[in-house]
Amino acid sequence: MDEPFKLFVVTTPSQRRYLPYLAAQGQNSAAKFLLTPMPALSGTPGQRRRLLAEQLQQCDGIVVFVDQTLVTDEKELRPALGLVKTSSLACIGLVVGRKRPPSRETLPPALQSVEVVPWTWMAVERFAARLKSTLS
């Protein structure tokens, strides 16, 4: 049986409610995956960046939940988004919530080159399959 791969999930506090749904999808997916949610950040900027970098090193890919709170809470997420931009890991932005997603122009600079798609089962399956093929 294949070892599940790990996805680091960048979320704002209000987006954390979506984590159980993505975790369930990872368990029922053809390409099994586990989640490493972004921890609550405290301490100095250097400590926060170090903690995020340590967690990111243990993961195989990155998921960023995208909605309007991502734009308004960008300052809080800056350390994580900075690591997303410099990381060599595959990354996908999943649009969550019912409100209209932010436009590409209003996304934080770290996500300008990231594929941002509506969160559907097929979008996650395609990302998981692509990631699994690069890890094989």
H helices then E strands: how many in the chain?
Answer: 5, 5
Domain residue extents for the chain: 5-40+55-135
Picking from 98, 81, 95, the residue whose alpha carbon sits closest to that of residue 124 is 95
pLDDT given for residue 99 in this prediction: 67
Residue with the bigger pLDDT between 105 and 123: it is: 123
What is the dotted CATH code of the domain comprising 5-40+55-135?
3.40.50.10140
Q: Residue 63 and residue 9: Cα distance in Å, rounded?
A: 5
Residue 86 has which token pair? 């410099």
pLDDT given for residue 76 in this prediction: 72
pLDDT given for residue 1 in this prediction: 45
Position 113 confidence tier, pLDDT thresholds 50, 70, 90: confident
pTM assigned to the model: 0.86
Provide CB contacts within 8 A for 41, sequence distance 6+.
48, 51, 52, 76, 79, 80
